[in-house]
Structure 1
């Protein structure tokens, strides 16, 4: 019996997930949907949530490859999109929305977390 318990402990489920909140949003650049942009929600500590915008500039954050959501809390938001994926470092999005971002988001538990980021290229 003890052996069976020991073995079952080795094959237990994967890591347990923290409390997650669904997070969606839209990104526009100069009034037009920003398609294929990377969106990162970075907390001061902990795991960064990520997404890619669709053809309408909409996104849904992912905690990991298989699980949607983000841990409730305050985030710095970074948005980037390469002009040409073959040439890294050619970002369409101005630095004040990525390396030097001024974007912030507060993800709340049990509430609708739908963010609108209206970026300008100037």
Structure 2
């Protein structure tokens, strides 16, 4: 039996919830603003990292970094962006996706995150996260 990591469970749950909210009929989306950024680890781009923006209340926005460590947040599977407000940011990446539970990043970036972001309406929201492996 294959064990799925905590972070992958979160991302899977968010994708399922995003799909459900996208199929909810006539519900309109809240005002969303574009949120982009990049993640560096020890001075190099961090590809294939999961990025979560978790508000105190409301919907978590999510993304995965590309090969250059860049990301664009998704509100759901069909809509980019996030609602304006303050977020706790969680970034995670497994050393080897075939062996779940091998988190590459220190807990201060994910499970015990000290990262935050303030998303502003009608402004450029481009966040740089410069992480260290220690």
Aligned length: 111
Deviation at 1:86? 1.8
Aligned-residue CA RMSD (Å): 1.2
Task: Could you tell me which runs of 5 or more consecutive residues in structure 1 were left unpaired when the two chains were aligned.
Answer: 1-12
Task: Could you tell me which runs of 5 or more consecutive residues in structure 2 were left unpaired when the two chains were aligned.
Answer: 1-24
Q: Look up the match of 2:61.
A: 49
User: Which runs of structure 1 show a deviation greater than 2 angstroms over 4 or more consecutive aligned residues?
Assistant: none
Alignment partner for residue 43 of structure 2, among 27, 31, 49? Answer: 31
Larger Cα-atom Rg: 1
Taking the aligned partners of 1:94 and 1:14, their CA distance within structure 2 comes to 42
Deviation at 1:94? 1.0
Q: 1:119 aligned to 2:131? A: yes
Q: Look up the match of 1:16.
A: 28
Q: Look up the match of 1:63.
A: 75
As a proportion of its length, which structure holds more helix?
2
Q: Look up the match of 2:94.
A: 82
